[in-house]
A and B are shown apart, each in its own frame.
Chain A
Amino acid sequence: MSFFAPFCLPFMIGAAVMFVLLAWKWGSWLWRLPEADKRLVAKGIFTRATPEAVWETVRESLLHRRIFRIDPLLGYMHMSLAFGWFLLISVGWIETVAYLGLRYVPLQGHVFFKYFATGLPHKPAFDFVMDLLLLLVLSGVALAWFKRLRSRALGMRRTTRHVAGDRVALSALWFIFPARLAAESITCALYGGGSFLTGGLGAWLAAHVGVMPLMTAETVAWWFYSSCLGIFFVALPFSRYMHIFTEIPLIFLRRYRLRSGEKQSSYDHFQVEACSRCGICIDPCQLQSVLKIDTVQSVYFLRDRRYGMLRREVADNCLLCGRCAEKCPVGIDLNTLRVNSRDALRNVPDERRYDYFQGLDRSSGEGRVGYFAGCMTLLTPRTMQSMERIFEAAGERVWWADREGGVCCGRPLKLAGETDSARRMMRYNTELFRKHGITTLVTSCPICLRVFREDYALEGIEVLHHSEYILRLIREGRLPLGRTTERLAYHDPCELGRGSGIYEAPRAVIEAVGELVEPAHTREEALCCGSSLANTAIDDGQQVALARNVAEELDATGAGAIVTACPLCKKALGRGTATEVRDLSEVVAARIRPAAGRATK
């Protein structure tokens, strides 16, 4: 039995080109991984991480569980295409084995088996299953067409604007399965076989169309099907569909604990090309929904970066709020990629600019607990004043790192892409903390908190956000508080919530002093205050527009005051509402019961 017909050529060439390109891409990316990353792969490959990665691949690359969570219909669309096609291929392979036994069959023999198997006795069970699977995929294609017209029905307000290459690949993909249906049905019309779908359509064609036209149509249909496949395969490595194959190694590497960092590395390729440009990141972006900026979202950032046309206007125009990363079905570390792109675009350290750090120490006080206010808390002195009262009431001896001014934690510069300068600040502060022998470091700024936890090497020093520290004092009975019925609306700061995963501590603290109410978007879904120092592209007016939008939701709760746990959010929200905005420490300090109450405890 020969498994060749001229129409197979487009498919065979396309598949060959695709596999060569894939092998080259994967090979070079893996080859260029930093040594440390390669060691991580070697260490992880024979651990539980591998079966876990296999299971995650099934869940995410085939079943698309995360997309189901965003919208069931959207999830079904992706699942029917990916899982349906996967099943068509794998069941198709089993089918050839069932027909021919275990023997070598070239790739095109599997793919175009219906064409080559006309002379064999039919196995109706396989015909039925294969028709069912084709129907599954076709329903996904139909939904994809429908999504072009009415994306809202699939839970998306806005969809991606695609580049020309993607459009070619997309069109080819859309035609693959209708073409397969046509080709197989015509073959069934001529030679019998098929089940309810191809068989049914084939019987109808046999009844209505003559044999000669059907013969011609068969050749045309198989050529068309094969060409669609060929075009799609050639376009795949250059288009968004690269994600199909890139997500798989990404899942494995991620399980082996590879991460993107502040400097670009080969691992980034896996993340960048795993983006399917589905556009789910567009809707959550407040720059889009409030400011109508629609060229900078993660999907466009990754696209521009991938094709080497990233401009600073795009890289810099992002709040790094993480709302999109929270929704990304591929789990791409969007913020880190943005940061290391900024690093690549403008990291030009000024060697002498920070020489004044030498020997600088403006800290005061003594204690095992250190307090780092950070630049923004110095600009919101009520917070610092409140912390002082809290420390005093709890009888804590405190070392004040920067009350008289200090050196920035480094995160603002890091987020701006000046990572080398940021490192100098981090080194300075680390040495300062070590010199004063603190064991606990408290900060009221989530921006500082995050960089202390993620980028500083502070072994032996426990880093706490003031919300966590205050909660600990309350739970240990060191901070007697009086509770009121004041309704307080809590705003989750991005760096604290999505950034550091701290949602409960500030809420528990608020509940200790008043009644907690929440805006419509809260916790993982919380909106960004708009003044994020990560965005150096938008102006004050635009920041205020974002703040008003957020404040509107907070005001709608009818709370007497808005409480947040970030000095930057506090300043930002204050610009967007007439309602009083307070830091968490302020509401606590105002409710401390007099010292007499503590003495009797």
Chain B
Amino acid sequence: MKKVIVIGGGAAGMQAALRLRARGVEPLVVERETETGGKLRGWHVLFPSFTPAGELLSELRRRVRESGIEVLTGATVTAIAPRRVTLSDGRCLACDAVVLATGFTLFDARIKEEYGYGIYDNVVTSADLERMFAQGRVAKADGTAPRRIAFLHCVGSRDEKVCQQHCSRVCCITGVKQAMELRRMFPAADVFNFYMDMRMFGPGYEELYREAQQRCNIHFVRGRISEASPTIDGRLQIKAEDTLTGRPLRMSVDMLVLLVGMRANDDNAALAASAGLARSASGFMAPRDLFLGRVSAPVEGIFYAGTVTAPKTLGETLDEATAAADAAAEYLKA
């Protein structure tokens, strides 16, 4: 039986492995962490349906387990070739093809120092907030409930100042979803979303956005926050411009949520260099063709699944994993 190494055991990696197995190929999932699941592990509920992320995760894991797919955890890949994968401990794994499903790296909000992440209390990222949701407790650092919350969209996305020109696509809808969740938790709180554009491209997104405005009374302000600073009474003062009214704006809030974007995976450069693969200007892997070769690398025998090539939603990632596995299976048949 032909063997394919799937690098990355997140949603894309697991789905690709399942599809390969269904097509009669032997997959081996190599995961850096001690368990599979990737970024999915950090999420509470999924947009736009508020489906618990745990449901999807355990279903994927169950299928992987029941298919008898071999998973190698705690293994970091340092170099790839179509028929060989090198691990950081020096081991070389032989195979017939490789599916790269290593995903993305979350933008480090500390780089946007003006928002005070890691400096002031009560400045959190969307990933932190998701963790708080999962733990069932959202509160200020002093344990009290926030009365006014601001979300800031596009932190580390569409921002030339931090070399991230691309749109991360999922943060707009995540901001809507998280705002609605906070609204449910704290019915008396004011929730503001500061945005550049609201990009509601997916099924049900626009409806959710409308619901957030009309039913949940969440305020959407078009304008980026320029800076945050602490106030004497322990709140945060934010400065922004409401670009629809053309006026500068100052506001004190109890919590500032930074919707951090997707950055190209930090490992892309080294892996691309090891196999002679091209990366796009944003650092994501460049597929062979933007239309007819979206899941193939320019090098024969290497395939891409999920956000290793660009920011994607979970649904798109799962579809693409299937497509990548199919492409790999066809390649092995030839």
**B185 CB within 8 Å of chain A:** no
Contact B163 A379 (CB under 8 A): no
Which among B113, B114, B239 has the greatest number of chain A C-beta atoms within 10 A?
B113
Contact with B along A79-113 (1 / 0, CB 8 A): 00000000000000000000000000000000000
Known contacts A405-B239, A571-B113, A574-B111; decide if A381 and B160 are in contact (CB<8 Å): no
Contact B113 A540 (CB under 8 A): no
A16 to B239 Cα, complex, angstroms:
67
Provide the residues of chain B in CB contact with A544, threshold 8 Å: 163
Provide the residues of chain B in CB contact with A382, threshold 8 Å: 113, 119
Contact with B along A557-582 (1 / 0, CB 8 A): 00000000000000100110000000
Q: Tally chain B residues at the interface, Cβ within 8 Å.
A: 16
Contact B229 A404 (CB under 8 A): yes
Contact A385 B119 (CB under 8 A): yes
Contact A541 B114 (CB under 8 A): no
**B161 CB within 8 Å of chain A:** yes
Which among A379, A381, A404 has the greatest number of chain B C-beta atoms within 10 A?
A381
Provide the residues of chain A in CB contact with B13, threshold 8 Å: none
Contact B162 A379 (CB under 8 A): no
Shortest Cβ gap from A303 to chain B (Å): 33
Interface of A is mostly: helix
Known contacts A381-B113, A405-B239; decide if A575 and B227 are in contact (CB<8 Å): no
**A180 CB within 8 Å of chain B:** no
In the complex, chain B residues 246-291 whose Cβ is within 8 Å of any chain A Cβ: 250
Picked from A403, A540, A541, A574, the residue with its CB within 8 Å of the CB of B229 is A403
Shortest Cβ gap from B274 to chain A (Å): 19
Contact B163 A378 (CB under 8 A): no
Provide the residues of chain A in CB contact with B161, threshold 8 Å: 540, 575
Contact A575 B162 (CB under 8 A): yes
Contact B119 A381 (CB under 8 A): yes
**A347 CB within 8 Å of chain B:** no
Contact B239 A381 (CB under 8 A): no
**A380 CB within 8 Å of chain B:** yes
Picked from A380, A405, A574, the residue with its CB within 8 Å of the CB of B114 is A380
Contact with A along B104-144 (1 / 0, CB 8 A): 00000001011010011000000000000000000000000
Known contacts A540-B161, A540-B163; decide if A379 and B113 are in contact (CB<8 Å): yes
In the complex, chain A residues 417-443 whose Cβ is within 8 Å of any chain B Cβ: none
Smallest Cβ-Cβ distance to A531: which chain B residue = B161
A563 to B318 Cα, complex, angstroms:
44
A539 to B111 Cα, complex, angstroms:
19
A541 to B160 Cα, complex, angstroms:
8
A379 to B116 Cα, complex, angstroms:
9
Provide the residues of chain B in CB contact with A380, threshold 8 Å: 113-114
A406 to B240 Cα, complex, angstroms:
15
A502 to B114 Cα, complex, angstroms:
27
Provide the residues of chain B in CB contact with A405, threshold 8 Å: 239, 250
In the complex, chain A residues 376-407 whose Cβ is within 8 Å of any chain B Cβ: 378-382, 385, 403-405
Shortest Cβ gap from A531 to chain B (Å): 9
Known contacts A403-B229, A404-B229, A574-B111; decide if A381 and B163 are in contact (CB<8 Å): no
Nearest 6 CB-CB pairs, A to B?
A540-B160, A379-B114, A380-B113, A381-B119, A381-B116, A544-B163
A–B complex contacts, Cβ < 8 Å, 26 sampled: A378-B229, A379-B114, A379-B226, A379-B227, A380-B113, A380-B114, A381-B114, A381-B116, A381-B119, A381-B120, A381-B227, A381-B229, A382-B113, A382-B119, A385-B119, A403-B229, A404-B237, A405-B239, A405-B250, A539-B160, A540-B160, A540-B161, A540-B163, A541-B160, A544-B163, A574-B111
Supplied contacts A381-B119, A539-B160, A544-B163, 9 more A-B pairs, CB within 8 Å: A378-B227, A379-B113, A379-B114, A379-B226, A379-B227, A404-B229, A404-B237, A540-B161, A575-B162
